[in-house]
Amino acid sequence: MAQAQALPHPDTYTAYAFLEKGGDLQKVTIPWRDPSPGEIVVKVLACGVCGSDDAVATGHFRIPIQYPRIPGHEIVGDVVAVPSTEKKWTLGQRVGAGWHGGHCSSCSRCRVGDYITCETKSINEFVGIGILRDGGYAEYAILRTEAVAALPEDMDPVEAAPLLCAAVTCFNALRNMNARPPDYVAVQGIGGLGHLAIQIARAMGFRVVALSSGPAKEQLARSLGAHVYIDGSAVDQGEALRALGGAKVAMCTAPNSDAAQRLIPGLAVDGTLLLLSLEGEPLAIPPAQLLGKRLSVRGWAVGHAADSEDCVAFARSHDVKCMVEKFPLEKAAEAYKRRASAKFRAVIVPGL
């Protein structure tokens, strides 16, 4: 096999990995590997920390994770090595990669361009970056070429990283719903996903209703673009939404099954309860609640590389900003522990 084309690089590099199921994040040294055909190597400039990184530590996706495993799937970096067969990506190019680790290009879903539902991804390395492939809690990362998105070189990598999972989850889901401005879109939870969902829904032209518990986040929600704020500690949020005429989409960005199902009475005719976060508890929804207004309950799983490129372009043109806290690579364990409490996304920056 012809030698890879590469920029200067070390023989080994530092990463942080889970060495066993249920273990703690540990510093490891990784030997350099040239990319195989269908892969590239990037020097990581930033990697967002996502709540779903917890799947690597706990193994709760029931996927046969092999340890050690380096988590991280909100990766921004520069290409430093490509195989001699590579036709698209070039040395020095700024790229990114999200949850979608790749696809087979030949199954029935891939043949119609629906790569995110690739039928083979659940049993091999396509399943996701940082799950069955090593991710971005590292100085370098090896990525499948079809999972890579082109990014603007003049964009701050720290701002761009969370767009590749948190933002594209909200953006791609909402643009595929049966909703049109000026419909109401409700956003449940004002955290890592929710603060982006509010901005995206507002930029798309919807009337945005922010839902949280307590008055503390009202000012923030309105500054992000919410037209209405409903405090769940003071009123029934489903009833309050119904009084507005109903939400065409209720975006559930916080993992709380009880809070999500209480929004169903607040949906408009043909409305959708849209589930965007990982939640282990089941929903208990009587069918009668869905029949009268033709309601739907849907989930949405992020997007592939082209969706990420669309999301980044949308965020730039509409000034959608992710609020982040930065951590150097040597504090990756601290960043991981802050995945739920950071304001609002923790981002690991190897060069910090």
For residue 44, the model assigns a pLDDT of 98
301 vs 148: CA distance, rounded Å? 17
Of the candidate ranges 91-100, 219-228, 341-350, the one whose mean pLDDT is the lowest: 341-350
> In the chain, which residues fall in CATH 3.90.180.10?
5-163+304-315+322-349
**In the predicted structure, residue 20 carries a pLDDT above the cut 70:** yes
Q: CATH 3.40.50.720 region(s) of the chain?
A: 177-299
Question: Higher confidence at residue 343 or residue 30?
Answer: 30
What mean pLDDT is reported for the chain?
93
Name which CATH class applies to 177-299.
Answer: alpha beta
Q: Does domain 5-163+304-315+322-349 have CATH number 3.90.180.10?
A: yes
Q: 277 falls in which pLDDT band (50, 70, 90)?
A: confident
pLDDT in tens, 62-109: 677 889 999 999 999 999 999 999 999 999 999 999 999 899 888 999
Q: What is the pLDDT of residue 131?
A: 87
Closest CA to 272 of 180, 178, 146: 178
Q: Extract the runs of DSSP E, i.e. beta strands, from the chain.
A: 5-6, 12-18, 25-31, 39-48, 74-82, 94-97, 140-144, 149-150, 184-188, 207-212, 228-231, 247-252, 267-275, 296-299, 324-328, 345-349
**Range 132-155 average pLDDT:** 96
Neighbours of 111 (CB within 10 A): 10
Question: b or e along 203-241 (b: 16 or more beta carbons within 10 Å of the residue's beta carbon)?
Answer: bbebbbbbbbbeeebbebbeebbbbbbbbbeeeebbebb
